[in-house]
Chains A and B, each alone.
Chain A
Amino acid sequence: MTRDEVRGAILDILSEIAPDENIESIDDNRKLRDQMDLDSMDFLDIVMELRKRFNIEVPEKDYEHLATMSGCIAYLQPLMLKKQVAN
């Protein structure tokens, strides 16, 4: 997956979890939590969706990597590549 595809996949998950938010305007370098109304249950949903859609397991200690969009991409892109190779 390219960087843009990974970003698109994350946006897709976010739009499902927070349908009322304007995800178009997300600033990749600011905390998601400061731009959208996301609570700890929403982060849990992101983790569940990543497992469901991409078979990626994010351990609790790595949740901090999901704080910003650019953090998500940096953390997830290599994992998604690995899955692609494995398939």
Chain B
Amino acid sequence: MSALTYMFGYTGRVTLNSLYAVARVCVLVQDTAYWAVVQPLRGKGLRLRSAVEHFVEFGFNSLPIVGLICFLIGGIMSMQAVYLLKAFGATQYVANLVGVIAVRELAPLMTAILLTGRSGSAIAAEIGTMKVSEEIDALEVMGLNPTKHLVVPKFIAMVTAIPCLTILGALIMIFGGFAVTVWVVGVEPNVYINNTINAIKIRDFATGFSKSVFFGIVICLVGVYRGFQVEGGAEGVGKMTTSSVVTSIFLIIFVDLIFTYIFFF
């Protein structure tokens, strides 16, 4: 009997907590949209300078690591493809495989995961630290809205930086594939380039691009949400930073699944 009570109680609590979390995420999304879109349209200023600073931090400063990882993954992918296609004497088609997979899938995904680790966690840590040191309270006492001042600049920076990074990442990934296939395996450069151009459709770019915007929204909102959840001191910040990375990577892959299901079938 008591086991049953416990089970029902537990299920109830988990459900309530999840509903509560969903409600709070909805409030956050609505608040962000309000301060990022509605208020600027009414002529109330955006914090553009802060947004630009964050764009440089999230986008430009992530370029080296995103570039390096994408280059290496392009190379790895093409080696695997060569292994597979050599048996059919079709090594020149490595270009098609690498190109399409990079643009549609791997570049958006790798960029998003790298940005989660690099910037999503930083967002959670920054907001969490500000919460612990009462800086958020200080903003509110001064009559300044934390969403407008902290969240919106990061949000704008993230959703603009991540598609740019993704496109650059895709190009570098293709170049990584090119480097291995042409200089190691010995496929003709023209053939590789032509095959790549023929294989990739505009639609592939468009879906990869739009997918990455959604990844950016996920990274930013998860970071912000976890940051505002911080309670207690420094260990609270650490806990929520870690948790922001885990949640964000899970949600990115989940969004990817839904996106792929909708657009490729």
A binds B: no
Question: Which B residues fall within an 8 A CB radius of A?
Answer: none
Question: Which A residues fall within an 8 A CB radius of B?
Answer: none
